[in-house]
Structure 1
Amino acid sequence: MINTILKFSGIEKEVKSFDKTKVANIHKMIHEKTGKGNDFLGWVDWPETFNKDEYNRMKVVANDLRSKIDVLLVVGIGGSYLGARAADEMIRGLYPTDKVELIYVGNTMSSTYTQNILDYLKNKEFGIANVSKSGTTTEPGIAFRIFEEFLINKKGNDVAKSRIVAVTDRAKGALKEMADAKGYETFVIPDDIGGRFSVTTPVGIFALLVAGVNTDAIMKGAMKARKELSKPSNEAYKYAVSRYLLNTDKNYKSEMLVSYELQLQYLTEWWKQLFGESEGKDGKGLLPTSCIFSTDLHSMGQFIQDGTKNIIFESIIRVKKPQVDINVPKLEKDLDGLNYLTKNSLHKINSIAIEGVIDAHVNVGKMPNIVLEFDKMDDEMFGYATYWFMKACAMSAYLLDINPFDQPGVEIYKKNMFKLLGKPGM
Structure 2
Amino acid sequence: MVSPIIINQSILTVSELDSVFGKRVEKIHNEMVNGTSIGADFLGWRNLPEEVLENELESVLAVADKLRKSAEIVVVIGVGGSYLGAKAIQDVLSPYFGQNTGNPEVIFAGHNLSGTYMKQLLQYISDKEVAVIVISKSGTTTEPAIAFRILLEYMEGRYGSSTSERIVAITDKSVGALRELANRSEFASFVVPDDVGGRFSVLTPVGLLPLAVAGVDIEQLLKGAKDAVAEFSTADIASNSAYQYAALRNHLLNEGFDIEILASFSPRFATFHEWWKQLFGESEGKDGKGIFPASVAYPTDLHSMGQFVQDGRRELFETFVQFIESMGDNAIPSTTDNLDGLNYLSDKTMNEINEVTLHATMEAHEAGGVPLILLKVGNHDAYHIGYLIYFFEISCAMSAYLLGVNPFDQPGVEEYKKNIFRMLEKPGFVG
| TM-score > 0.5, shorter chain as reference | yes
Shift of 1:213: 1.1
Which residue of 1 is the match for residue 275 of structure 2? 270
Instruction: Tell me which amino acid in the other structure corresponds to 1:251.
Output: G
Which residue of 1 is the match for residue 292 of structure 2? 287
- SS, match of residue 19 in structure 1: helix
- SS, match of residue 313 in structure 1: strand
Q: Residues 356-395 of structure 1: matches in 2 within 5 Å?
A: 356-363=360-367, 365-395=368-398
Shift of 1:107: 0.2
Which residue of 2 is the match for residue 224 of structure 1? 227
| Percent identity (aligned) | 44
Q: Residues 92-131 of structure 1: matches in 2 within 5 Å?
A: 92-98=94-100, 99-131=103-135
- Residues 6, 12 of structure 1: 8 Å contact kept: no
- Residues 21, 247 of structure 2: 8 Å contact kept: no
The more displaced of 251-260 and 325-334 is 325-334
Shift of 1:402: 0.9
Which residue of 2 is the match for residue 236 of structure 1? 242
Shift of 1:323: 2.8
Q: Residues 56-67 of structure 1: matches in 2 within 5 Å?
A: 56-67=58-69
Which residue of 1 is the match for residue 425 of structure 2? 422
Instruction: Tell me which amino acid in the other structure corresponds to 1:198.
Output: S
The more displaced of 48-57 and 265-274 is 48-57
Match of 2:56 among 42, 49, 54: 54
Shift of 1:321: 4.1
Shift of 1:20: 1.4
- Residues 362, 368 of structure 1: 8 Å contact kept: yes
Which residue of 2 is the match for residue 39 of structure 1? 41
Which residue of 1 is the match for residue 189 of structure 2? 186
Q: In the alignment, is residue 303 of structure 1 matched against residue 305 of structure 2?
A: no
How far apart are the structure 2 equivalents of 1:80 and 1:109?
16
- SS, match of residue 288 in structure 1: strand
Shift of 1:15: 2.4
Decide whether aligned partners of structure 1 residues 369 and 12 sit closer, same or farther in structure 2, where only a CA change above 3 A counts. farther
Shift of 1:11: 7.6
Instruction: Tell me which amino acid in the other structure corresponds to 1:79.
Output: G
How far apart are the structure 2 equivalents of 1:318 and 1:93?
19
The more displaced of 117-126 and 351-360 is 117-126
**RMSD, aligned α-carbons:** 1.3
Which residue of 1 is the match for residue 167 of structure 2? 164
How far apart are the structure 2 equivalents of 1:96 and 1:390?
31
How far apart are the structure 2 equivalents of 1:267 and 1:369?
20
How many pairs were matched up? 421
Which residue of 1 is the match for residue 321 of structure 2? 317
Shift of 1:13: 6.8
- Residues 318, 370 of structure 2: 8 Å contact kept: yes
Which residue of 1 is the match for residue 351 of structure 2? 347
Shift of 1:322: 3.3
Q: In the alignment, is residue 255 of structure 1 matched against residue 253 of structure 2?
A: no
Instruction: Tell me which amino acid in the other structure corresponds to 2:390.
Output: Y
Shift of 1:173: 0.7
- Residues 264, 320 of structure 2: 8 Å contact kept: yes
- Residues 168, 188 of structure 1: 8 Å contact kept: yes
Normalised by the length of structure 2, the TM-score is 0.95
- SS, match of residue 112 in structure 2: coil
How far apart are the structure 1 equivalents of 2:245 and 2:33?
19
Shift of 1:96: 4.3
Which residue of 2 is the match for residue 215 of structure 1? 218
- Residues 74, 130 of structure 2: 8 Å contact kept: yes
How far apart are the structure 1 equivalents of 2:33 and 2:225?
16
Decide whether aligned partners of structure 1 residues 327 and 230 sit closer, same or farther in structure 2, where only a CA change above 3 A counts. same
Which residue of 1 is the match for residue 416 of structure 2? 413
Instruction: Tell me which amino acid in the other structure corresponds to 1:19.
Output: F
How far apart are the structure 1 equivalents of 2:241 and 2:205?
28
Any runs of at least 4 consecutive aligned residues in structure 1 with deviations exceeding 3 A, and if so which? 9-14
Give unpaired runs (5+ residues) of structure 1.
none
Could you list the per-position Cα deviations for residues 290-321 of structure 1 after superposition, in whole angstroms to 9, with x for gaps in the alignment? Answer: 11000111111111111122x21110011134
How far apart are the structure 2 equivalents of 1:4 and 1:75?
36
Match of 1:246 among 230, 246, 252: 252
- Residues 223, 386 of structure 2: 8 Å contact kept: yes
Shift of 1:205: 0.3
Match of 1:136 among 140, 143, 146: 140
Which residue of 2 is the match for residue 21 of structure 1? 23
How far apart are the structure 2 equivalents of 1:193 and 1:62?
22
Which residue of 2 is the match for residue 86 of structure 1? 88
Shift of 1:196: 0.3
How far apart are the structure 1 equivalents of 2:366 and 2:285?
27
Instruction: Tell me which amino acid in the other structure corresponds to 1:332.
Output: T
Could you list the per-position Cα deviations for residues 30-51 of structure 1 after superposition, in whole angstroms to 9, with x for gaps in the alignment? Answer: 2222100000001111111123
How far apart are the structure 2 equivalents of 1:301 and 1:2?
26
Match of 2:179 among 166, 176, 179: 176
Shift of 1:398: 0.6
Shift of 1:386: 0.5
How far apart are the structure 2 equivalents of 1:332 and 1:188?
63
Instruction: Tell me which amino acid in the other structure corresponds to 1:421.
Output: L
- SS, match of residue 256 in structure 1: strand
- SS, match of residue 71 in structure 2: coil
Normalised by the length of structure 1, the TM-score is 0.96
Could you list the per-position Cα deviations for residues 81-128 of structure 1 after superposition, in whole angstroms to 9, with x for gaps in the alignment? Answer: 000001101111333422311111000001111111111111111110
Shift of 1:3: 1.1
Shift of 1:16: 4.7
Shift of 1:14: 4.1
